[in-house]
Structure 1
Amino acid sequence: MMIAAWRWYQPTVCLAAAIMKLDPEDGEQIMEYFKTHALLTKEKALLQASVREQKKLLVENAKLKKDIEQLRIQLQEKQRRRTAKALLSSATPQPTLCPAPSTPVDPSAPPAGATATAPTNPPPPCSSSHERRDKQNRRRKGERKGDRRQTRPTSDSLSLELDSRVDVSRLDLRIGRIFTVRSHPLAASMSILEVDVGETAPRTVVSKLGGKTHLEELQGSLAVLLCNVKTCKLRGVVSQARLLCCTNSDDCIEVLAPPTGSAPGDRVTFLNYPGDPDRELQGKQRVWENLQPDMQVDCKGVANYKGCGFEVKGKGLCRAPTLTNCIIK
């Protein structure tokens, strides 16, 4: 250790002596500058090492969050299966035991303990009573089968009940950049947009922006789009997504504005409603129609669903440019 310190000290002394010899007046200030620069270089190296460690921790945290999300989804699936089994078991009626028919007491029969004498002319068996009992039992069995068919839920009804769960996480909401905007040739209240949503090719979107929106201002701006709606034709033009806008009672329409720093393809999520979106929303389930009444812009201009904000993770919340206390459509 002393040898290493000596090796470091010897060139330092030589450098100081050389500087003092060259510039006796400012030599000490030059040496102080070199020492300060060396200390700053060390601190910079330590800071870079800490930044690398922090990035490593962030990556590990992201992996842990992903694993937790997968485990949560698996737990939800297990709970759904248990609920379906419980519904099946509770809907199946338990068979009731019928009491054994009581045999009528024959007054002419001898008392217990007495020796029975064989009658000379035994009465014929009562076949009619047996037939009546058989018919009644058959009727009861038929009624039980009919009740069981009515009360037992089928597997199709259970699967439809599970699929009918309405949750905002089923919507594939993404950030998109509007490339071009033009009026619809066949409808004055409609506009045709070409939007980049983070895919290989832009999507064509037909929106009812109306005549109160300045279309030229939308070109190049960011917007929020619903990307898993079913493709449909609107006045002869195929629309591949839905543009989310907010409007008030005065029919003033504004396009929702994503947070600063958003990029095309970023997904809009909801903190209280995690999960993966559907591949495509089915028209029969009317998912968007059931969710849309609860989507509003609050008094602060923040877009939310049941009080939970439209969030782009790590970048912020989606807002209305100027409107407040209005609906989203």
Structure 2
Amino acid sequence: MSRSSSSAGRADVYNRITTEIIAAIEAGSGDWRAPWFHDGSSIARPTNVSSGKRYRGINTLALWATGFAAGYCDGIWGTYKQWQDAGAQVRKGERSTTVVLWREIKVSQQADDEDDDDGHRRMFARAFSVFNIAQVDGYERPATPVLPEAERLAHAEAFITNLGVKTEFGGSEAYYRPSTDTVFMPPFTSFRDAASFYGVWLHENGHASGAKHRLNRDLSGRFGSAAYAAEECCVEILSGLVLADLGIAHHPRPDHAAYIASWLKVLKDDPKAIFTAASKAQQAADWMHAQQPHAEEVAA
């Protein structure tokens, strides 16, 4: 197969994948969640023992402050009753930390506004007292599923290794650090499945492809900014494209569409954002393929 026909074939696949991603977003892609398991053990990620959800806003700051001051090394928190329901007991004399739960309720309109049934909403705060896992006895953390090493995919490992970007494994966060040109990844065993692992690894290597000495994309955007959102959309689409190339996921996974949709909200004023991101994603995918040993053979 010639290089041009190979590239044309990939372009057809990339167009189909992008179209499916857009269709999934338009149909309602749902909520995104990290594709690796997290047991809430990090003190920097305060998590509720009952719901498994992370605390947000001012509650995060309050639990950080208490946790660091007390020297706690774990980020799981719960009310007295929640710990009891989990089979644990808060030790006598332990001091609680206050968190606030905000609820939105609909309030009826005044009598002279009876024709308007829209009503209006008010926020009400309710305080809760919570305790850290270090303050309780008898709690057994649920076993975290482990992805067997036997499910690693040799061809995907080789493809990513050939990109030449250093990767360090460990911890519970996935990110690319431009200053050291290094990708950081949770270990393989902590992911839900092999496709999730390689998808995230490709995502982070996608960021690395934008470094100045590679494709020179703008990686300076702060979290939540339009530039940051554009980059996230680009590399998540890239991940879906290359997973298809590698035969790991022939169609966009729901988590890809949900993640992209979450960032498109930041780019809501740019109707062409998804197409711009797809174009840059294809450029990055082509760069990845160009790093493979067989790329020189095909060219020859």
Per the TM superposition, whether the score is higher than 0.5 is no
TM-score when normalising by structure 2: 0.20
Larger Rg: 1
TM-score, normalised with respect to structure 1: 0.19
Structure with more contact order per residue of length (Cα contacts < 8 Å, sep ≥ 6)? 2
